[in-house]
């Protein structure tokens, strides 16, 4: 149609931690699974709940609520694990609920107000978008969960029988 311009949009997986809504770029999300208790890892950082085995891959599960809100995660029937691809590999994020994909026009995504963010959290927030009268905090995955918080809990691949020695 003449005179109609297409708005550039970005797609996100929207999830909830407590009463707040957050979003991750959809291209970083591999899957969303029902919450399951993770196997604890000795001496892991406080934000690491443990590890799970997803289709033969061991994935660390992080308590995103503890990291972002300072309040430990409490599982419920709506809890999910978002499996996302971070700079250090696949990671599971324990969240209160996650079941929606939405798109925001790029020009509607505003920078996060630096005056209300702590220095520690500033790198975690990419921006803020309005949806249905409330704000959704868009996370920068690598800023939200620095690699040092979960990379140590990855268990190295164990050579399988018949694998060639390298």
Tell whether pTM > 0.85: no
Using the predicted structure, report yes or no on whether residue 148 has a pLDDT greater than 90. no
For residues 86 and 28, what is the distance between their CA atoms, to the nearest angstrom? Answer: 7
Contact in structure between 61 and 92 (CB atoms under 8 Å): yes
Domains, in order of start, for the chain:
10-153 (2.40.50.180)
**Phi, psi dihedrals of residue 77, rounded to the nearest 5°:** -65, -20
Q: Give the chain's count of helices (H) and strands (E).
A: 3, 10
Q: Residues 35-92: pLDDT tens digits?
A: 999 999 998 888 899 999 998 999 999 998 988 888 999 999 999 999 999 988 899 9
Q: Please, which residues bridge with residue 60 across strands? A: 51
């Amino acid at each position: 149609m003449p005179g109609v311009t297409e708005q550039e949009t970005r797609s996100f997986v929207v999830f909830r931690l407590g009463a707040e809504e957050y979003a991750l770029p959809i291209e970083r999300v591999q899957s969303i699974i029902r919450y399951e208790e993770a196997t604890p890892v000795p001496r892991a950082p406080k934000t690491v709940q443990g590890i799970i085995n997803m289709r033969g891959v061991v994935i660390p599960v992080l308590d995103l609520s503890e990291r972002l809100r300072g309040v430990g995660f409490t599982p419920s029937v709506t809890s999910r694990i978002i499996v996302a691809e971070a700079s250090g590999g696949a990671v599971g994020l324990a969240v209160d609920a996650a079941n929606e994909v939405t798109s925001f026009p790029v020009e509607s995504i505003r920078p996060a107000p630096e005056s209300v963010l702590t220095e520690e959290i500033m790198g975690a927030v990419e921006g803020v978008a309005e949806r249905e009268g409330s704000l959704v905090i868009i996370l920068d995955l690598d800023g939200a969960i620095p690699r040092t918080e979960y990379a140590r809990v990855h268990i190295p691949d164990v050579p399988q029988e018949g694998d060639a020695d390298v």
